[in-house]
Amino acid sequence: MGRLIEFQPGPTERLTISVGDVLLVGAAGVVVQSGAEAVEVVGPLLPGVVGDNGRVLAPAGAPNTLLIVARKVGKAVLAFKTGAPYRSVETATLDLDIVA
């Protein structure tokens, strides 16, 4: 069974996960520097909520969430983009090992 793993880019530079795991990443974007065949990127996304009126509401702002799905055994290098996408962007690189 896959795991949904919350991940905040920055302190952690290397991570090992399993095929089927999904990383929930707080970032405005990601550049897959290598290993694109091993991961699937979903997003970037702008999270919303179901309001008290039963409708989906989303805030005004840049996208801030990504899903990284581990599809195959292998390695990938991901450069996550955090901060304000239009001005003070920061990059945090993650070496991802995907195991069976």
Partner 1 sequence: MSNSNEAQLRKTLAKIAELAGAAAGNGSYESHEDHEHEVDANGTVVCVPKALPERLLLKSAQTAVEINPVNAPQRVAIGQFAAAQVFEPAAIAVLTQKYWGPSTRRLTVSFMETTAANLRARIVSHLNSWSKTAGISFVETSSTGTIRISRGGSGYWSYLGTDVLLIPKNRPTMNLQGFTMSTSESEYKRVVRHEAGHTLGMPHEHMRKALIARIDKQKAYAYFLQTYGWDKATVDAQVLTPLDEANLMSTPPDQTSIMCYQLPGSITKDGKPILGGMDINATDYTFAGKVYPKASASLTSESLGDDWNESDDVEDVAYPD
Q: Does 26 bind partner 1 (CB under 8 A)?
A: yes
Q: Which is nearer to partner 1, 4 or 100 (CB)?
A: 4
Asked if 80 contacts 30 with a C-beta cutoff of 8 angstroms, the reply is yes
Residue 30 touching partner 1 (CB under 8 A): yes
CA distance 21 to 37: 15
Half-sphere exposure of 81 (CA within 13 A, CB side): 17
- Ramachandran quadrant class, 94 (left: phi over 0; alpha: psi -120 to 50; beta: rest): beta
Q: Determine the interface stretch with partner 1 among 13-21, 68-76, 85-93 (rule: CB under 8 A).
A: 85-93
Nearer to partner 1 (CB atom), residue 11 or residue 51: 51
Q: Looking at the DSSP assignment, which residues form a beta bridge with residue 62?
A: none
Omega cis (within 30) before 44: yes
Build a one-symbol-per-residue string for 39-78: x at contacts with partner 1 by CB under 8 A, - elsewhere: --x--x-x--x-xxx-x-xxxxxxxxx-------------
Q: Where do contacts with partner 1 occur on this chain (CB under 8 A)?
A: 8, 26-32, 41, 44, 46, 49, 51-53, 55, 57-65, 79, 81-82, 84-89
